[in-house]
Amino acid sequence: MRRREFITLLGGAAAAWPLAARAQQPGRLPTIGYLGATTPSTESQRVAALVQRLREFGWIEGRNLTIEYRYAEGRSERYAELAAEFVRLNVDVIVTYGTPAVAATKQATAVIPIVFAVAGDPVGSGLVASLPRPGGNLTGLSLQKTDVADKRLELLREVVPGLRGLAVMANAGNPVSILEMREVEATARRLGQEVATFEIRRVEDIAPTFEAFKGRTDALYVCGDPLVDTNRVRIITLALGARLPSMSDFPEYVEAGGLMSYGPNFPDLFRRAAGYVDKILRGAKPGDIPVEQPTKFDFVINLITAKALGLDLSPTLLARTDKVIE
């Protein structure tokens, strides 16, 4: 067999080689495939945190590392397509986040290491075997979204005194968002509130949803998710038009004009994800690296929006925020 034919034959099995051997291929830099769930602008701070931390570990993009970026732009149907593209490119590590994106990537490859910067309940959703020993080709950071749902509702009730009617919006295509919605609904009902839940599946569902709960609610709880993140300006505009205080889990929502957010510090999660990538590029097996959980949470309020809605925020509440937009 000629050498060229032999190399071609082995090409399909290259993904199964140990990373150390693959990294030694002449002229080939270790390559990360970054699968973003939303858009480059939405994820700019997170990606910057990832890249900066990789530099601190000695991995410099363009010098001894290549990063291929792909973005689904809030369209979950694109996850499988983009993950398959990374498999064809034979990248060394895939970095992504969010349960649907991670699940699609796992389905695309059982060989290429996958690092999730954040995934909701990865054990319960079947992504990993356990947090201490994830097994397989995945590891990363876990977020039990339902664990902080009660905290978000508590803050919303504090900001909106006399809150009675609550609307909860979630992407029906994201099982973790639906779990969060059910948790919020159960907690709110336990507190004697009236709750209306609304599921969306695509951007076209957002405006009709606002029409559906018009006059039925005093505040809006938005379950964060790539579909929501990508369309946050649309959601915020409709919420302000309906004079509804709204709560979500990511600060970009508040920076775009939403009232408030409480959730993990996403740049910190992406910095920590870089540590997983570094270990894998140096030969560690993802299945042996324990899944960790967030340690930093941020409470962010948009004071401009609060004033526009006629809300009087107490100094005590403001003192507890990590960031105030004014």
Same domain, 18 and 113: yes
Same domain, 210 and 223: yes
The model carries a pTM of 0.84
More confident residue, 28 or 221: 221
3-class secondary structure, 187: helix
pLDDT at 124: 85
pLDDT tens figures, 256-265? 999 999 999 9
Same domain, 138 and 153: no
**218 is in which domain, residue-wise?**
145-264+298-325
**Is the separation of the CB atoms in 260 and 322 below 8 Å?**
no
pLDDT at 25: 55
Same domain, 200 and 320: yes
Average pLDDT, integer, range 132-136: 96
Same domain, 187 and 211: yes
Same domain, 286 and 244: no
User: CA 118, 135, 128, 119: dihedral to nearest 10 degrees?
Assistant: 0
pLDDT tens figures, 248-291? 998 999 999 999 999 999 999 999 999 999 999 999 999 999 99
Average pLDDT, integer, range 223-235: 93
Same domain, 229 and 310: yes
β-pair type (246-248, 194-200): unpaired
Is residue 153 pLDDT above 60, yes or no? yes
**Is the separation of the CB atoms in 167 and 198 below 8 Å?**
yes
Q: List the 246-248 sheet strands across, edge first.
A: 194-200, 165-171, 219-222, 246-248, 260-264, 297-302, 323-325
Average pLDDT, integer, range 108-120: 96
Is residue 183 pLDDT above 80, yes or no? yes
Same domain, 186 and 258: yes
β-pair type (93-96, 31-36): parallel
Average pLDDT, integer, range 67-96: 97
More confident residue, 176 or 137: 137
Same domain, 164 and 206: yes
3-class secondary structure, 27: coil
CATH number for the domain spanning 110: value is 3.40.50.2300
**Is the separation of the CB atoms in 112 and 32 below 8 Å?**
no
Domains in the chain: how many in total?
Answer: 2
Q: How confident is the model at residue 2 (pLDDT cuts 50, 70, 90)?
A: very low
Sequence-ordered list of residues with C-beta below 8 angstroms from that of 312, at least 6 positions apart, any chain: none
Mean pLDDT, the chain, integer = 90
Same domain, 75 and 202: no
Q: Distance between CA atoms of 50 and 59, rounded to whole angstroms?
A: 11
pLDDT at 152: 92
Same domain, 158 and 39: no
Same domain, 120 and 258: no
Q: How confident is the model at residue 146 (pLDDT cuts 50, 70, 90)?
A: low
99-108 helix and 79-89 helix, angle to the nearest 10 degrees: 40
